[in-house]
A and B are shown apart, each in its own frame.
Chain A
Amino acid sequence: MKISPEKVAGIARLARLDLDQDKLELFAGQVGDILDYMDKLGELDTDAVEPMYSPVAHTTVLRKDEVRKDYRREEVLANAPEQDGQFFIVPRIV
């Protein structure tokens, strides 16, 4: 499948990546080759097959709705690029 650099740029935008022109062109070729390879799955008839998303059955584990403090606020904030001791700081949104 041929994938254009413009198409890759569109996908990159969705993934919050900003790639320069050289990389868009490189990735377009590589992504096209890889998708061509993946297209071989089309040879298999899977109409009646139930998809398998995980090897184990996922169950939603609910704990009791009790307030507890596993970690301290300063621990949670410690790796933030910007914080004020109470909150994560991000650029202005509105």
Chain B
Amino acid sequence: MSELYTKTLSQVAAMLGSGEVTAVEAVRACLDRIEATEPEVKALLTVTGEQALKQAEAMDAAGPDAAKPLWGVPVVLKDLLATKDVKTTCASKILENFVPFYDATAVTRLKEAGAIIIGKANMDEFAMGSSTENSAFFQTRNPWDTERVPGGSSGGSGATVAAGQCFGALGTDTGGSIRTPASFCGIVGLKPTYGRVSRFGLIAYGSSLDQIGPMTRSVEDAARMLQVIAGYDPKDSTSVDVEVPDYLAALGRENLEGVTIGLPREYWGEGLDAEVEASLKASVDKMEALGARTVEVSLSLTDYAIATYYIIAMAEASSNLSRFDGVRFGHRDKDADELIDMYTRSRTQGFGDEVQRRIILGTYVLSSGYYDAYYNKAAKVRRLLREDFDKAFTLCDFIAGPVLPTTAFKVGDKVDPLQMYLIDIFTISANLAGLPGMSLPVGLGADSGMPVGLQLMGPAFCEADMLSVAECLERNLGPMPMPAL
């Protein structure tokens, strides 16, 4: 069973369900793989091996449970999802020793479905970054080439799945943080519609943008995980009370006849690396060969999306992060003898540079005299961006384009914060508009040999159809290889 780690989540779930593999064997296979690859990849902040094995033993003693779709499947969680009795750090010194006494709703649902949590994944501190270079603890490396970044902020989740350390992971996506590492690491990453998955127990960065989603090695796996975590939660007033469709039943379409794919001219123009453009064009040709019709559409405000996004995200971040004051949890400076001084010292010592920079910017754009010029202005442009999408979706069913203009870059390549922010150009609009988006691996770049991801975006709550289109394309493109580690 040493090759068990190469199986997809769906394959392993079937093997576990039939008794072909035990839960202990599945957990051991992942732990062995972690031991073999983690020194290079460094995807995980915490490995809960002992607990996972104990849980697997108890599950094996009771036998497979057909009512639990992820029975015995080892999974990893981004370390900003609260896990009862397991450290949850957000990759920040300020939460270095934080052990929640509750589970995030998405975590509860995974556990109820029989999944076994084997670790917590590294990330950019408080999910602020696009490369996982901003973790307070260590940098995660791309399993395809350890000199390169895995993408961020769910880079640990992307790398652990790509490296075969687990069969699926949860990430979160505020401006592309699921799709970026999925693209760089050659896996499937789905950011659901805002409100589709409860955000209860997610340590918030930008509350009106954050969404939890699956990161897996196949589209079917993503559908399987989404099925478990999706749905209304009374504990989250932003979760939406609409029926959850059967995502798996939607899969298996023979071709793409009747599907119209919109190609935004702003996404397919200058600035795309040649190898990225070539891989993406080949996948669009494949969609056409499968019967899809393609039309050019316009997302005319794309150029304004980054400014809009960072104003809103930083404003929300500065507000969300005000709860870290050293009183109820987190790092506290021991020497301050006055309350405000204690807040200030604790926060100054606990937050890293990128977090501090965004708090400063967020505080500035919300401050008296600037609120209308920045935050309110951005909220207005946000509505225009949403209307841009609504208009495009009168002409097409889905939008296809790049996730990023390049394949994974080298560690340390982008040091200027503005330069780093600009790479999110194709992903952030979906967050501002609250729409679902996914990254599907479509091959390796001809020059770099690194994975290229195709982004699909669709109208709100179209995940079932979007997954079915992606699965049809995936099947016809052939399997994505795993990195040679």
> How many A residues, CB 8 Å from partner?
50
When the two chains form their complex, are residues A19 and B363 in contact, meaning their CB atoms are under 8 A apart?
no
A-B pairs with CB below 8 Å: how many?
A: 165
B322-337 residues at the A interface, CB under 8 angstroms: 322, 325-332, 336-337
B358-396 residues at the A interface, CB under 8 angstroms: 359-361, 363-365, 367, 374, 376-384, 386
Contact of A16 among B306, B343, B353, B433 (CB under 8 A): B343
**Interface membership of A33, Cβ < 8 A:** yes
**Interface membership of B237, Cβ < 8 A:** yes
Q: Mark B250-285, 1 if CB is under 8 A from A, else 0.
A: 000000000000000000000000000000000000
When the two chains form their complex, are residues A50 and B344 in contact, meaning their CB atoms are under 8 A apart?
no
Main secondary structure of the interface of A (DSSP, over half): loop
Most chain A CB inside 10 Å of its own CB: which residue of B351, B365, B383: B383
In the complex, the chain A residue whose C-beta lies closest to that of B238 is: A56
Most chain B CB inside 10 Å of its own CB: which residue of A30, A60, A61, A75: A30
When the two chains form their complex, are residues A41 and B361 in contact, meaning their CB atoms are under 8 A apart?
no
Complex: A80 Cα to B98 Cα, angstroms? 9
When the two chains form their complex, are residues B238 and A58 in contact, meaning their CB atoms are under 8 A apart?
yes
- Please tell me which stretch of B33-41, B65-73, B164-172, B307-315 contacts chain A, meaning at least 4 of its Cβ atoms lie within 8 angstroms of it: B307-315
When the two chains form their complex, are residues A15 and B363 in contact, meaning their CB atoms are under 8 A apart?
yes
Report the interface size class on chain B: 35 or more
**Interface membership of A44, Cβ < 8 A:** yes
Residues in A neighbouring B356, C-beta threshold 8 A: 17, 19, 23, 27
In the complex, the chain A residue whose C-beta lies closest to that of B434 is: A55
A43-94 residues at the B interface, CB under 8 angstroms: 43-44, 46, 49-56, 58-61, 71, 75-76, 78-82, 88, 90-93
Task: Take A49-B383, A71-B102, A90-B339 as given contacts and tell me if A19 and B348 are in contact as well, using a CB distance cutoff of 8 Å.
Answer: yes
**30 interchain pairs, CB-CB under 8 A:** A14-B367, A15-B322, A15-B347, A15-B359, A16-B340, A16-B347, A19-B348, A27-B360, A30-B416, A31-B360, A34-B361, A34-B421, A37-B306, A38-B310, A38-B378, A39-B307, A41-B381, A44-B301, A44-B384, A49-B384, A52-B386, A55-B194, A55-B460, A56-B195, A79-B100, A79-B329, A81-B327, A82-B332, A88-B327, A91-B338
B residues lining the A interface (CB < 8 Å):
97-102, 194-195, 207-208, 234, 237-238, 240, 301, 303-304, 306-308, 310-311, 318, 322, 325-332, 336-345, 347-348, 351, 353, 356-357, 359-361, 363-365, 367, 374, 376-384, 386, 416-418, 421, 433-435, 460
Known contacts A31-B364, A49-B380; 14 additional CB pairs below 8 A are A11-B363, A14-B367, A23-B356, A27-B356, A27-B357, A38-B365, A41-B381, A44-B301, A51-B380, A52-B382, A52-B383, A54-B434, A55-B434, A81-B331
